[in-house]
């Protein structure tokens, strides 16, 4: 009896304001408050509120037969609370159904695992506490930022007590194997590994409205037939995607909400299929094999590696300069600045500096608020220069009072 595991990533970065060389030492308001507020409210109106209303109706209508899971970054939760409490309340309503699982991740949607194990652990603990406070759940499932994963990530997650971890079902780590089974991470004893079926997930997330796609239009019945064909060759079909797929990346007029409304019923027409959350899947099935992933894998781009964030000299210079400030940021005298340092870790800042055009370039340009990766780098480094001055015992200058 195969399970369908739907997981949605919810994330909105705090976007940085235009910050010039002449602002260094003169002002310390790094975030674009107006842009962050306006974007959050726009996405809430187009995606979060209508999608949550639809999911709430589906969860109630199917009375436990339909289940979903979310990972909501801490910075997204902070923006909900600050700019649009109605969105936060709508996620609470989903939690109250008892049929939604909330995962843990790094609070600031950071790449901390790659640069500071201490910071990674601190952010995971912060996120765990926030999810408990808001939704009353002690998370047992984990996903690292951008689905960045290798054996070491799994081992640390297991040490933290998680029962299941999510990752990209990239061909280069699976080889001949299928993503439609659970696996045991190499070097681990208890934790289980769920792998995204990226072909089926991307059919919804990226190809749904593509009129040049041979399978266009994608209907719920057609997609359900594809899922049902896996019946004899898999135990769990993992559909992982950005929640903003619904209404923001795929606009309402594409029919994406109607697709979502009909999909659960279409999938459950086959009596052997059921919806379960990651933790339920981990309890239900045993790993089919051990999977050794020594090199990092992620969700991004054709390569599904780390090059979307640390693939060029600008990105590496920026992120190494940032983590070089950790000791100073953690000094007791700088306690008020520690959250600022953490907010500068959000992976989006480095994604904007990516110079990978060609096949992946359209995706990078779509999400980039800067005119070029170089502009993103200069803006970020101006801010980081000012922030580094503020961390110094001397304060960094006469204008350092803001």
Pair 264, 161 in one domain? yes
Pair 287, 311 in one domain? no
User: 349 lies in a domain?
Assistant: yes
| Predicted confidence band of residue 358 (pLDDT cuts 50, 70, 90) | very low
Q: Which domain holds residue 19?
A: 3-291
Q: What is the pLDDT of residue 394?
A: 66
Q: Per-residue pLDDT tens for 99-136?
A: 999 999 999 999 999 999 999 999 999 999 999 999 99
Mean pLDDT of 359-365: 51
| Predicted confidence band of residue 365 (pLDDT cuts 50, 70, 90) | low
Read off the DSSP letter of residue 31: B
Catalytic annotation, residues: 146
- What percent of the chain has pLDDT above 90? 89
Pair 92, 223 in one domain? yes
Pair 381, 264 in one domain? no
Pair 253, 126 in one domain? yes
User: 302 lies in a domain?
Assistant: no
Residue 306 CA to residue 302 CA, distance in Å, equals 11
User: 399 lies in a domain?
Assistant: no
Q: What is the pLDDT of residue 357?
A: 66
Lowest mean pLDDT across 88-97, 245-254, 355-364, 365-374: 355-364
Cα radius of gyration (the chain): 21
User: Would the pLDDT of 359 be above 50?
Assistant: no
Mean pLDDT of 155-179: 97
Residue 103 CA to residue 140 CA, distance in Å, equals 7
Q: Per-residue pLDDT tens for 303-343?
A: 899 999 999 999 999 999 999 999 999 999 899 999 999 99
Between the CA of residue 120 and those of 124, 125, 160, 308, what are the distances in Å?
6, 9, 12, 20
| Predicted confidence band of residue 33 (pLDDT cuts 50, 70, 90) | very high
Pair 93, 58 in one domain? yes
How far is C-alpha 64 from the chain's CA centre? 25
DSSP string for 247-262: TTTB-GGGTHHHHHHH
Q: What is the pLDDT of residue 233?
A: 86
Number of domains in the chain: 2
pTM greater than 0.95 = no
């Amino acid at each position: 009896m195969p399970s369908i595991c739907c997981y949605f990533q919810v994330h909105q970065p705090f976007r940085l304001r235009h910050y010039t060389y002449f602002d260094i030492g003169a002002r310390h308001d790094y975030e674009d408050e107006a842009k962050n507020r306006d974007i959050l409210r726009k996405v809430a109106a187009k995606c979060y509120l209508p999608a949550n209303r639809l999911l709430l109706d589906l969860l109630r209508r199917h009375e436990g037969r339909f289940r979903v899971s979310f990972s909501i970054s801490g910075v997204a939760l902070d923006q909900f609370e600050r700019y649009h409490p109605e969105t936060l309340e709508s996620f609470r309503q989903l939690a109250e159904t008892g049929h939604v699982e909330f995962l843990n991740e790094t609070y600031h949607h950071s790449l901390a695992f790659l640069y500071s194990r201490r910071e990674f652990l601190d952010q995971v603990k912060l996120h765990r506490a926030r999810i408990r406070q808001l939704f009353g759940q002690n998370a047992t499932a984990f996903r690292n930022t951008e689905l960045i994963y290798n054996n070491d990530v799994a081992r640390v997650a297991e040490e933290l007590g998680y029962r299941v971890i999510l990752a990209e079902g990239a061909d280069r780590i699976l080889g001949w194997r299928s993503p439609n089974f659970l696996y045991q991470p190499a070097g681990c004893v208890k934790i289980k590994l769920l792998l995204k079926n990226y072909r089926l997930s991307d059919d919804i997330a990226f190809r749904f409205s593509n009129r040049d796609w041979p399978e266009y239009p994608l209907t719920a019945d057609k997609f359900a037939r594809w899922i049902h064909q896996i019946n004899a060759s898999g135990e769990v079909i993992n559909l992982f995607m950005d929640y903003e797929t619904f209404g923001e990346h795929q606009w309402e007029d594409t029919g994406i909400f109607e697709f979502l409304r009909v999909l659960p019923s279409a999938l459950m027409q086959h009596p052997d299929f059921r919806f379960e959350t990651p933790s339920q899947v981990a309890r239900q099935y045993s790993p089919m094999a051990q999977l050794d992933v020594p090199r990092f894998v992620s969700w991004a781009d054709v390569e599904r590696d780390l090059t979307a964030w640390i693939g060029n000299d600008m990105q590496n210079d920026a992120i190494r300069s940032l983590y070089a400030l950790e000791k100073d940021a953690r000094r007791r005298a700088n306690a008020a600045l520690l959250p600022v340092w953490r907010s500068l870790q959000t992976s989006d800042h480095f994604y904007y500096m990516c110079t990978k055009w060609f096949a992946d370039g359209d995706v990078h340009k779509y999400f980039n608020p800067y005119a070029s990766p170089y502009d993103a780098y200069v803006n970020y480094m101006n801010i980081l220069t000012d922030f580094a001055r503020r961390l110094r015992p001397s304060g960094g200058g006469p204008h350092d009072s803001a």
